[in-house]
Amino acid sequence: MSLDLSTRCLGLTLANPLVAGAGPLTANLDTIRALEDAGAGAIVLRSLFEEQITGRELGAAKHLYGHAPSAEAQSWFPDVDAFALGPDEYLEHVQRARAAVRVPVIGSLNGTTRGGWVHYARLIEEAGASALELNLYDVPTDPAADSIAVEDRLLGLVRDVRAAISIPLSVKLSPFFSSLPAFVRELEHAGANGIVLFNRFYQPDIDLEALELQRTLRLSDSSELPLRLRWLAVLSPITPLSLQASGGVHHGRDALKALMAGAHAVQLVSALLQRGPGHLAQVLTEMREWLLEHEYDSIETLRGSMNLKRCPDPAHYERSNYMALLGSWQ
């Protein structure tokens, strides 16, 4: 039986739904090539941060790149000095990555405020990116900024980026919105073509003896997937946007679940840092075997089959099952 693993995402046809997500492996041309060789359907480059362009304090970027990786990931962390890669070097990186591989290369901008820095969206398009991912990694701390103000600011940024580019635009989101479905609809009106669910928030710990905050970057595991599954399942019947899962995809079965919940593609970062780029081939094999065993002939027939509208027991995704669940505790 023939099996069609291709998927449409952000208006692009991907040979399969496995996307190498933004992170250290996509900051390096050798690992980018290795990711393509292992079967990546697309590659998201690590982000260019608003702070790198404006010269302000590097907030989120420091969490992601400003410390030694855990022992498990050490061998696969390429030697990346993220801060040596200024905005111009980033544009060169986009060009080189585009020339190095045949799969779509997605640029990534990471920021939260409107401003002149947004013109880098156009420069990333001109450097050859097939699409742009805008990461809205935002940590509101000002009680004077209510949820409407926060959402208006983020939507304004999305509109500005949309106006600057003509390539597809996806928006990487936090799970923390009062009404995610309503915000996603607003993103659609602002010109987004897709969303990525979700950012992981990097939580500082407290060192009790030194009385200092400790930066911790724990890689994910599959236990982070169900948060994504729920919201993919809720959103996929009600939005025309391309949906990508990010967070907790480590094995073939994780990818299959996300696709069933409604994802068009899934991104992997921690799994590839832990096991190396070649792990993508293993994930693809696991998916292929399961799909053939269960007589699926394409990703399209699988996609959304367990979303809120199509699963046999939608209450599990909703509040209605909440009391029953608590009662089932042994």
Ligand X SMILES: Cc1cc2nc3c(=O)[nH]c(=O)nc-3n(C[C@H](O)[C@H](O)[C@H](O)COP(=O)(O)O)c2cc1C
Q: Where do contacts with ligand X occur on this chain (CB under 6 A)?
A: 21-24, 46-47, 64, 108, 110, 135, 172, 199-200, 219-220, 224, 246-249, 268-271
Q: Which residues contact 298 (CB under 8 A, 6 or more apart)?
A: 3, 4, 5, 6
Residue 138's nearest CA partner among 148, 153, 124 is 153
Task: Choose between 282 and 298: whose C-beta lies nearer to ligand X.
Answer: 282
User: Cβ of residue 84: shortest distance to ligand X, in angstroms?
Assistant: 15
User: Cβ of residue 44: shortest distance to ligand X, in angstroms?
Assistant: 7
Task: Choose between 254 and 296: whose C-beta lies nearer to ligand X.
Answer: 254
User: Cβ of residue 3: shortest distance to ligand X, in angstroms?
Assistant: 24
| HSE of 160, CA atoms in CB hemisphere, 13 A | 19
Integer Cα distance of 28 and 155 in angstroms: 31
Task: Choose between 98 and 172: whose C-beta lies nearer to ligand X.
Answer: 172
User: Cβ of residue 74: shortest distance to ligand X, in angstroms?
Assistant: 12
| HSE of 115, CA atoms in CB hemisphere, 13 A | 12
Q: Nearest 5 degrees, angle CA 59-CA 111-CA 157? A: 150
- Residue with structure tokens 């599990």? 316
Give 121-166 as a DSSP string: HHHHHHTT-SEEEEE-------TTS-HHHHHHHHHHHHHHHHHH--
User: Cβ of residue 121: shortest distance to ligand X, in angstroms?
Assistant: 14
Task: Choose between 248 and 262: whose C-beta lies nearer to ligand X.
Answer: 248
What is the chain's alpha carbon radius of gyration, rounded to the nearest angstrom? 19
Task: Choose between 205 and 318: whose C-beta lies nearer to ligand X.
Answer: 205
Task: Choose between 229 and 249: whose C-beta lies nearer to ligand X.
Answer: 249
User: Cβ of residue 128: shortest distance to ligand X, in angstroms?
Assistant: 19
